[in-house]
Chain A
Amino acid sequence: MMCTGAIDPVYVIKALVGGADAVLIAGCHPGDCHYSEGNYKARRHVAQLKSILEETGFDPERIWLRWISASEGKLFAETIAEMTQAIRAIGPTPVRQALVV
């Protein structure tokens, strides 16, 4: 995606109910947006998505938002390692087995 602000939550939802154990949304740091406010809006959208997932019985900890700019390769690698470890600790998503998705 060109900008986290352009992420339609349906992509994240589709991945989660399709059986993905977690979804990482990574984008430019607040204040660094090329479109000036895209990531601020994205943060709001993610806050809402996490709230809705929590309210409907999904684990909101399976959604990760991290500010990682295009030049921060090391941070990206570290985040992926951290995330893999954290999600492994939570275990596989039960939704994978659900017939009604």
Chain B
Amino acid sequence: MSVFGKWPVKNGDVLEAVRRLLIHLLEVELVVAVLVPVETKNGRSVMPTLIRDPDQIARANPLLPVLPINGARMASLITRYRSVSNGKYPANGRIAVVMRPCELRATVELAKLRQVDYASLLTVGVDCLGTYEITDWQAMESESAEYFDSILDAMNRADPESPLDRPYRQACKICATPVAWNVDMNLHFIGVNGREGILVETTGESLLTSLGLTTVADPLTHQEAVRDVVEVRQNRRHSALDIASARLQAGTDGMPGLTKIFENCQRCLNCTVACPICYCKTCLFRTETFNHRPEHYLEWADRKGAARLPGDAITFQLTRFIHISASCIGCGLCTSACPASIPVDTIFQAVGRQTQALFDYIPGRDLEEPLPATTYREEEFANLGETVE
């Protein structure tokens, strides 16, 4: 049962209020540390930072509209072997992770893959209507003095469009999940005037009480604003994925659309590095498996007249669909990382939409929902494998 409270903001300084809340979590020992985006020295980007000393919260900024890395990977780094903690820190002490909704959904998927110890986390979601490519953001640096007001205003009026000169990242433009699901605490800014107070939602009353807050009535303006923006984004998302699906279909020459879209894929593996779900330490594509014996390349060139190198790009991407498409939460960092400007995430989300529908699975929603590849039902796909399909 979730309850709402209002965290006070002094002199309209929202960042100070967010930082004060995080310091509070440390001081009342609700958590032993906080993982939060912290401004880099030049203030033009953020990096996830694990903070023990409350003084270090001073540069925390979970609202700066860039996502250089999906924080779920960091949640994995700091909790995956938690059970072998050396006892120096409270064994049952949790770490607050302050993240955007896509990062928190990825964290749930990584927990199912046993790469995150979810029980070690106090999940804190921050409403998000979009982030910018870092290059775009840095090009707009001159505006950065006012960016904060623009971003807060856009959230207050639940604007699905970018309030600044440059567009949001492609994945953000079609993201229909601006609010984190099933988290311990949500900091809401959508449909809220953040300068008058941050709308805090917690699962259960005790967490709200430990913040020193009392419950307020269900914030209808916030809930309606979220509904409105989700509806716009959902429509846009379906159109974008429909277009991607159409592009994937085979052309008149019978060639799968995938081979055209990934024509420029150089199999650099940047997408696998950026992807929060693609965690395997023993990835087949990092081995010599697909670096074939030299004479094989000549054989292939001989058979078809030519062989595009380095090759196996489609095998690589299809394999990634098998591994990732059920769990793809659409953070879009694969697209940001692609040196060939391939719209990787749009394609993955189009394929993911099919895979997820096939198994009636929504990634990142519920820790108890098993990963499709790890389970089965005896009565499903009964015709598959029989003589008459």
- Say yes or no: B318 contacts A97, CB within 8 Å: no
How many angstroms from the CA of A53 to the CA of B372 in the assembled complex? Answer: 17
Q: Shortest distance in angstroms between B169's beta carbon and chain A's nearest beta carbon?
A: 23
- A–B Cβ pairs within 8 angstroms, 28 of them: A9-B319, A13-B318, A13-B319, A17-B314, A17-B318, A43-B376, A43-B380, A43-B381, A44-B376, A45-B373, A46-B385, A47-B380, A48-B322, A52-B354, A52-B355, A53-B318, A55-B354, A56-B257, A56-B318, A56-B351, A57-B248, A57-B251, A58-B256, A99-B306, A99-B307, A100-B313, A101-B311, A101-B314
Which residue of chain B is the closest to A58 with respect to CB atoms?
Answer: B256
- Say yes or no: B322 contacts A57, CB within 8 Å: no
- Say yes or no: B376 contacts A56, CB within 8 Å: no
Shortest beta-carbon contacts, A-B, top 3: A57-B256, A94-B254, A56-B258
B308 interfacial contact with A, CB 8 Å: yes
Report chain B residues within 8 Å CB of A58: 250, 256, 258
- Say yes or no: A47 contacts B258, CB within 8 Å: no
Known: A45-B373, A52-B351. A40 touches B385 (CB 8 A): no
A51 interfacial contact with B, CB 8 Å: yes
For chain A, residues 37 to 76, give those with C-beta under 8 angstroms from any C-beta of chain B: 37, 39-41, 43-49, 51-59, 65-67
Known: A9-B322, A41-B376, A45-B373. A55 touches B262 (CB 8 A): no
Report chain A residues within 8 Å CB of B359: 44, 48
**A10 is contacted by which of B253, B304, B319, B375 (Cβ under 8 Å)?**
B319
How many angstroms from the CA of A59 to the CA of B359 in the assembled complex? Answer: 21
Which residue of chain A is the closest to B262 with respect to CB atoms?
Answer: A100
Total A-B Cβ pairs within 8 A: 126
Report chain A residues within 8 Å CB of B162: none
- Say yes or no: B354 contacts A40, CB within 8 Å: no
Report chain A residues within 8 Å CB of B380: 43-44, 47
Report chain A residues within 8 Å CB of B288: none
How many angstroms from the CA of A13 to the CA of B304 in the assembled complex? Answer: 19
B270 interfacial contact with A, CB 8 Å: no
**A101 is contacted by which of B249, B259, B325, B358 (Cβ under 8 Å)?**
B259
Which residue of chain A is the closest to B377 with respect to CB atoms?
Answer: A40
User: What is the interface of chain A mostly: helix, strand, loop, or mixed?
Assistant: helix
**B376 is contacted by which of A40, A97, A100 (Cβ under 8 Å)?**
A40
Q: Shortest distance in angstroms between A2's beta carbon and chain B's nearest beta carbon?
A: 18
Q: Shortest distance in angstroms between B377's beta carbon and chain A's nearest beta carbon?
A: 8
- Say yes or no: B319 contacts A44, CB within 8 Å: no
- Say yes or no: B248 contacts A10, CB within 8 Å: no
A1 interfacial contact with B, CB 8 Å: no
Report chain B residues within 8 Å CB of A9: 319, 322
- Say yes or no: A94 contacts B255, CB within 8 Å: yes
Count contacts on B: residues with CB < 8 A to the other chain: 49
How many angstroms from the CA of A58 to the CA of B255 in the assembled complex? Answer: 8
Known: A55-B245, A94-B255, A99-B306. A44 touches B373 (CB 8 A): yes
B119 interfacial contact with A, CB 8 Å: no
For A17, A55, A95, the residue with the greatest tally of chain B CB atoms inside 10 Å of its CB is A55
A88 interfacial contact with B, CB 8 Å: no
Report chain A residues within 8 Å CB of B262: 100
Report chain A residues within 8 Å CB of B295: none
Known: A10-B315, A67-B386. A95 touches B378 (CB 8 A): no
Known: A48-B355, A57-B257. A17 touches B315 (CB 8 A): yes
Report chain B residues within 8 Å CB of A101: 259, 311-315
B53 interfacial contact with A, CB 8 Å: no
B350 interfacial contact with A, CB 8 Å: yes
For A43, A48, A66, A79, the residue with the greatest tally of chain B CB atoms inside 10 Å of its CB is A48
Known: A14-B315, A30-B378, A52-B351. A47 touches B358 (CB 8 A): yes
Report chain A residues within 8 Å CB of B258: 56-58
How many angstroms from the CA of A76 to the CA of B50 in the assembled complex? Answer: 59
